[in-house]
Each structure stands twice: as structure tokens, then as C-alpha cells.
Structure 1
Amino acid sequence: MVQPLLDAPTQDRLTAVTVSDVPALAAGTAIFGTGGGGSVYTSQMVTEQSIAEHGPVPLVTVDDLGPEDLVVLVSGIGAPTVGIEMLSSATQIQTLVDEAERCAGRPVTTLMAAEIGGSNGVSPVGWAAKLGLKILDADGMGRAFPDAAMVAMNVAGVPCEFSVLSDVVGNVSVLRTVDMHWLERHARALTVASGSICLGLHYPMTAETVRGAVIEGTVSAAIRVGHALLSSPEPVRAVAAELGGSILLTGKISDLDRRTEGGFSRGSVTITGTGEDRGRLQRLELQNENLIVLEDGEVIVSVPDNVTIIDAETGHAITTEMLRFGQRVCVLAWAADPIWRSPRGLELAGPQAFGYELTYTPFEGATR
């Protein structure tokens, strides 16, 4: 059984996402993006406008779903660096849903973020408002990952019946692959051919198949984390406390190697400690997301545990495509959802899945 990312309050459950919730949602999903998922700036503005125009979006739980419901995952796919300049079209999401309904033979009622991280955690709310659909308080990753196979449903053994991709000029592709690894290969090739950015819809699920196969409570969790960040006079500490995480290092970016290849943003960033951390140095390995933290040749944190680079003063997350030399930052880390620490989870999203020949050691918190 997939567990909720964070324990949700038992009372005052959020039942709709309103315009006033979107800034907190964006701030929280940027944190959960672990460097990836795309910048939230544009998606926040578009989602606020969509809700203002069409009204609040019903936020439903797995238990709220009925036999008439069809849940589909939606997300952007490609290199976040490209996504800054190439925006989606106004009709792209409607095109995807129309094609999905043709493939499924029934109406889509509920959208779910493929990943709660970054813009991919915000945009589905705006799309749901525009289409008059519900949003599921869950996602497929509990963070952001760069590979289509790295989803909770794949860990749980739920097959993906079909996927639909659409690019900004209107090309539509329907994929029926033998497994999620083949979906990643085909979808990535199509995305690169489309300029390295697309929108995707996949994993149609019913109320029966979604149960136990998604990470529940992540939309409301992101909003809570965002509120903690936006309302606290000490946002860095507030975010770390809300997540049960640790600040590994405070310093400035002293070196940055980042390139776009094969539909990914890849590279590394070096952070030199300042203040109490003067004399220390950490290097983070990147592939859309922050994957590995090293200090003095030792692995401090590794994927699937979560690492986010945040602004040292504001606490806002800085995505990989927005990293700049000289930025004053903190390195924030917290434990992965339990599903990713399972044998199947580590097979799909552990260090070796990204080509690192090292044994995963669970991150349980660190102090200076």
C-alpha cells in the first residue's frame, strides 16, 4: 500500500483549490520538485487566471471516487530549460483529454499530477478548472522524477493502458507500450523531435485501480508546506520543520555545469559554505532533479531521498534551470516516501537506476 507523503490533518480537510491557495501550492510544489518539474512562475499565473475565470477546483480523495470516475495523469515532459521559453498552447490540454476519452471510451472526470513537483504539480489544477474537472489529492511520485517509469503505479504493478502526447503545434501521438520503460523511450524521442517539450496524459485509472497505487495527500501537503514558507518570518526553518527535513549546507553557488541533452537538463552544481559552514563544500549531481549530494568524497544524500536547493533568505526553491553562479542558497534534504525505499522502488528510482554505482543508504536527517 502506498502511504500518504505527509500526515494530513484529520479536520478542516481542503475540499477545493481556490485562487488564494495557488501561491502556496506553487511554493510547495517547487520545494517538492527537488530541482525539477519546471519553474512554477508561469504555471502559477495561468492557474490563478483559470480558477478566477472558471471557479475553484474540487479536490477529491481516493475514497471520494465512484464507479463513474476516470482518473488520468497529466504533466509536461522534457527539459525544464526549454520549458522556460516554449509555453504550451491554449488548446493543448483539451486535445489530450479529447483523445484520451476516445481511447478509453468514457469521459475523463478527474485529473491527477504525474508528479507533485514544480509546475507539473500546479498546472493540472489550472487545467482541471478550465475543463470543469476534479483534481485528485494525490500524485504519482511524491516529488519529481525525470523518467516516466518512475511512478508509484509502476511500483504497485498497475499497467498503463495508453498514453497520449501533444506538442505545441498540434501533433498528437497515442502510445501503447509493453511497459513503462518503453514508454519513456518512445515519449522521450517524440519530445526531443518536438523541440524537447510536450504535454502528456497517461495511466487511465478507475476508483478501483487507483486505490493503493498512488501517493495520497500530496496536493494538500504541498499547500501546507507553501503556507509555512509564505507565512513564517524564518521561512527556511519553517519549511524544514514542515517536511521533517534538514538543512545540509548554507553557502553560495561557486560552480555550475548545466547542459541540455537527450531531452534532459544534466550537470552538477558546487556550493561553497558561508557563515557557520565556511570551509565546507558540497557538489550536487543533476538530471532535471537533484540526485546526489557529495561532501569530501562521501555521499551525504542520494536519490530517491529528496534534495532541494532553496534561497537562503526567502526559502523559495530554485529549480535546476534557474541556478546561477553566486546565488546564496541552502541545501534542504528529507526522506523519500516509503514506497521508494522498497526493493521495487529502489530498482526503479534508486541511485543505480540513474547510473550511479553506489549502495543506497536511507537519509534520516543530518546536523552541522
Structure 2
Amino acid sequence: MSWTIDTADLHRLSRGAAVYGTGGGGDPYVGALLAAGAIAEHGPVTVVTQDELPDDAVVITVAMMGAPTVMVEKLPNLDEVVGSVRALEAVLGRAVTHVTCAEVGGVNSTIPVAAAAALGLPLLDADGMGRAFPELQMVLPTLYGITASPLAFADDKGNTGVLTTVDNTWTERIARVACVEMGCSVMIAGFAMTGVQARESLVQGSLRACVELGAAVDAARAEHVDPVTRVAEVLGGREVFAGKVVDVERATTTGFARGRARIDGAAGTLTLEFQNEHLLARAGDDVVVTTPDLIMVLEHDSGEAITTEGLRYGQRVRVVAAPADPRWHSAEALAMVGPGYFGYDVPARRYDGQVSDGAGVAA
């Protein structure tokens, strides 16, 4: 059944999306400000479920591409969002009927809300990941043979472009170069798909899941119970470490925020490796959990998610691990988003500490 997002819902949506962002995806608060402005001007956004999606719908993803660290100074605007969609429509030769999220984590959960409001289109309650990943091709539609191109991009200066590429990895490579030249952040629109393809390939109900997770954190605080424990319960995950951030190495290179953080606690030391998102958690020499499962850093008492660009010396934090969509544990998916892809010579380790055998639900 359809529902609406208005400015009152954006707080819960952005809070839940920050958790699902696994440290990356950008600060959803920035996207929520953009969405709030669009809703104030154009009215609430209608969110539709997969059951309400026509087979012949033209569904596209709208997202920000770039390093989350850049958004601290280079804020997105609606002209970029609308510009990328209009450029895509010109190449498709068809009008877009629905907007959806490429990823549910971080700012890319709220920018599509702004896009839907500004364009007067319904928003599909779904996304391409069920979390956030750093590269464009790292979405479940890739496993279903859905192409990212034609992919349109637009920047804050009014520049637009459209790529047509041989596969989604090449779309990522070429678009990333353009993104760096355009200030390390652009708005993109692509992955045009029918209603049938969207129902099959996307993670359904993920926006609702973000809102419910945000509401659960709010409720835990009001009830004076531990919000971090509540997050772990809602996500079906577990707390893996607690301590103080004692060191952060971070640099923005080739359009990504890359680095590591060290957390010291009663159980020893936990090291987190990230590329926009947290990819690997290591306790001493032992790997605790890796991508594609979710690794989230939460403020010790409030349960508020802390992004990789927000990590600072002295923060008291707790690290929670939770399961990814089971399709991410197929052999094909692990080749695309497992630790080996990012240069870590370790097997994929699930949130519960078990090694992934690559036998997840294949597309």
C-alpha cells in the first residue's frame, strides 16, 4: 500500500539510513535538507510498493556519486538532481515514471526523495543494495543483467553528460573520472528498468525499513533503553566491539574517502578499513566481519550512526555487524563486493563470524 513522505518523516528516514550506510553513503542529513526544501516547494512524496508498480513502468535510480568528505563543503542542489534526470530522458526518448534509490544508505536514501518531489513522480519503496557500497556497479541489478547506461550526470555548474558503455564496471570507471574533474561529486541518473525488472532485482521495502529503524532508535531513547542494542535487534545483527577511537587515517583519493580507524577497548583493539563504507573489521590479527555484511559504527550512548568522514579521535563508539541481503553472498556477488575485490586477501566473513561459502541466493 502506498504511503507518503513529508518533512516530519525525513528525520526518521535519515537516521535509519545513516545506520544502513555502514559508514558511507554521505551524511543523510544533507540530503534530508535538500528533500525538505523540495517537499516544502512541491508537496509530499508518494511512495509506492512493488505491488503497485506497473509492468511497463520506467524506473530509474537517482543518486549522488563522489566522496562523502566533499559534501562537507560542496552541498548538492536540486538543479543537479533534475538536470541529470532530464538529460537521461532525452536519450531514452521516454518519460521517467518512477524514481528509486541506488542505495538505501546515507544521502542516497534522501536525494531520491528530493528528486521525486521536484519531478512530481512517485518514489518506489526499494533500493539496489540494502546498504551502501562505494562503486556504481555494486548493485543487485548488475547481477540481473540490468545496465547502468545510458547514465546521465550533472554538476553544480550546469554541466551535464550521458555515458553509453559496454558494462557497468566501465560505467563506474568513466563516470568516476568525470566526477573527479567536476569537483568529486555529481548527481547521476541511470539503471533504467521496467516494473518487472525492478520487482525482481531490487531490495523491496528498504525505505520503510529505514523509517522503522529510525523510529526504533527514537523509541529506545524515550524508553531509556540502550539504542545500540535496539539497532542490533532490529537488524538481526550483533555488537562486536566497544571502545574509544584512538586513531583515524583518511584521505580523499580517486573520488573515494579511503582509510582506517583504530578503536581501543576492554577487549583489545579493533581496526576498521574503509572505502567510503566500512569494508573489514579486524581484532588483532583476526578478521571479525567483512563486506558484504554490514559494519556500522554507532555513538556509544545515543546509537547515532557515525560516518567515516565523521570519525574523530576520542569518540566512544560501539561497532555492530548485521547480515546483508542473502543475494550478496552468491559467488558472483562476492566477486563484485567481497573483500578480495577491495584488495584484502581474506575470505568473506559474515556478521556472525562464519566464513561465507559463496552459496547465497543467486540472481
TM-score class normalised by the smaller sequence: over 0.9
Q: Match for residue 161 of structure 2?
A: 173
The answer to whether the aligner puts 1:85 opposite 2:77 as a matched pair is: no
Kept after mapping to 1: 8 A contact 2:112/2:123: yes
Q: Match for residue 271 of structure 1?
A: 263
Q: Match for residue 342 of structure 1?
A: 330
Q: What is the letter of the counterpart of residue 32 of structure 1? A: Y
Following TM superposition, the consecutive aligned residue runs of length 4 or more in structure 1 with deviations greater than 4 angstroms are: none
Equivalent-residue separation in structure 1 for 2:216 and 2:321 (angstroms): 17
The answer to whether the aligner puts 1:187 opposite 2:175 as a matched pair is: yes
Q: Match for residue 318 of structure 1?
A: 306
Secondary structure (helix, strand or coil) at the match of 1:315 reads: coil
Gap runs ≥5 in structure 2: 355-363
Secondary structure (helix, strand or coil) at the match of 2:89 reads: helix
The answer to whether the aligner puts 1:258 opposite 2:277 as a matched pair is: no
Equivalent-residue separation in structure 2 for 1:326 and 1:161 (angstroms): 44
Q: 1 or 2 for the larger relative contact order (CA 8 Å, sep ≥6)?
A: 1
Alpha-carbon shift at residue 362 of structure 1 (Å): 2.4
Equivalent-residue separation in structure 1 for 2:190 and 2:119 (angstroms): 17
Q: Give % identity.
A: 40
Would the alpha carbon gap of residues 127 and 160 (structure 1) be closer, same or farther in structure 2, given more than 3 Å must change? closer
Q: Which moved more, 1:60-69 or 1:181-190?
A: 60-69
Equivalent-residue separation in structure 1 for 2:17 and 2:2 (angstroms): 16
Q: Which moved more, 1:203-212 or 1:144-153?
A: 203-212
Would the alpha carbon gap of residues 365 and 129 (structure 1) be closer, same or farther in structure 2, given more than 3 Å must change? farther
Q: Match for residue 58 of structure 2?
A: 70
Alpha-carbon shift at residue 279 of structure 1 (Å): 4.5
Alpha-carbon shift at residue 105 of structure 1 (Å): 1.1
Q: Match for residue 238 of structure 2?
A: 246
Q: Match for residue 43 of structure 2?
A: 55
Alpha-carbon shift at residue 143 of structure 1 (Å): 0.5
Gap runs ≥5 in structure 1: 1-12
Q: Match for residue 194 of structure 2?
A: 206
Kept after mapping to 1: 8 A contact 2:78/2:118: no
The answer to whether the aligner puts 1:220 opposite 2:208 as a matched pair is: yes
Which digits, 9 at most, give the CA deviation of each residue in 1:198-227, with x for residues without a partner?
Answer: 111111111122231111110001111110
Alpha-carbon shift at residue 46 of structure 1 (Å): 2.2
User: How many residues matched?
Assistant: 350
Alpha carbon RMSD of aligned pairs, Å? 1.4
| TM-score normalised per structure 1 | 0.92
The answer to whether the aligner puts 1:98 opposite 2:98 as a matched pair is: no
Q: Which moved more, 1:236-245 or 1:289-298?
A: 236-245
Alpha-carbon shift at residue 364 of structure 1 (Å): 2.4
Which digits, 9 at most, give the CA deviation of each residue in 1:120-154, with x for residues without a partner?
Answer: 11111122112111111110111000011111000
Which digits, 9 at most, give the CA deviation of each residue in 1:267-307, with x for residues without a partner?
Answer: 1000011xxxx141100001000000000201000000100
Q: Match for residue 294 of structure 2?
A: 306
Alpha-carbon shift at residue 95 of structure 1 (Å): 1.1
Which digits, 9 at most, give the CA deviation of each residue in 1:308-334, with x for residues without a partner?
Answer: 111111111011111111011110110
Equivalent-residue separation in structure 2 for 1:340 and 1:208 (angstroms): 21
Kept after mapping to 1: 8 A contact 2:34/2:77: no
Q: Match for residue 359 of structure 2?
A: none
Equivalent-residue separation in structure 1 for 2:215 and 2:2 (angstroms): 13
Secondary structure (helix, strand or coil) at the match of 1:247 reads: strand
Alpha-carbon shift at residue 14 of structure 1 (Å): 5.7
Q: What is the letter of the counterpart of residue 361 of structure 1? A: R
Would the alpha carbon gap of residues 15 and 40 (structure 1) be closer, same or farther in structure 2, given more than 3 Å must change? same
The answer to whether the aligner puts 1:280 opposite 2:272 as a matched pair is: no
